[in-house]
C-alpha cells in the first residue's frame, strides 16, 4: 500500500499538523519508503496468532478509588503559554 498526496494531507489533518503544499511531495516519499519497508510483514502467516496486548504476564493492578492528590492548580497551569485565574486560555471555541 502507498499513500497519495491527498492521503498525506488527510493524515496531517487528523494528526493536527499543518503542512504546506511544498511539504507534501517529500512527506509522501518518506512515508511511502516506510510503508514499503513494513510491507514485508505481509509475508508472515499470522493465522490463529493472538495480537500482543501486554508484554509481561501480569494482571493490571487497580488502585483504590480515593483522592491522593490535588489542590495544586497553580502548579498545573504554571507552564501554560496563556492562563488566567488557574484556567488555560485558548481562542474562542464556541460562538
Interacting residue ranges for another protein, rule: CB under 8 A: 1, 3, 7-8, 11-19, 27, 30-31, 33-42, 44, 46, 49-56, 58, 60-61, 63, 72, 75-82, 88, 90-93
Look up cell 498545573; give the residue.
76
In the complex, the smallest distance separating the C-beta of residue 48 from another protein, rounded to whole angstroms, is: 9
| Among 5, 65, 61, 64, CA closest to 32 | 5
In the complex, the smallest distance separating the C-beta of residue 65 from another protein, rounded to whole angstroms, is: 14
In the complex, the smallest distance separating the C-beta of residue 27 from another protein, rounded to whole angstroms, is: 7
Run of H or E including 29:
helix 23-38
In the three-class reduction of DSSP (H, G, I as helix; E, B as strand; rest coil), residue 26 is classed as helix
Look up cell 497551569; give the residue.
77
Amino acid at each position: 500500500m502507498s499513500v497519495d498526496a491527498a492521503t498525506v494531507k488527510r493524515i496531517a489533518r487528523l494528526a493536527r499538523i499543518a503542512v504546506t503544499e511544498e511539504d507534501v511531495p517529500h512527506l509522501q516519499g518518506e512515508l511511502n519508503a516506510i510503508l514499503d519497508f513494513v510491507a514485508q510483514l505481509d509475508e508472515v502467516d499470522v493465522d490463529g496468532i493472538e495480537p500482543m496486548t501486554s508484554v509481561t504476564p501480569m494482571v493490571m493492578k487497580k488502585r483504590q478509588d480515593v483522592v491522593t492528590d490535588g489542590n495544586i492548580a497553580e502548579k498545573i497551569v504554571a507552564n501554560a503559554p496563556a492562563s488566567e485565574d488557574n484556567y488555560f486560555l485558548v481562542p474562542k471555541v464556541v460562538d
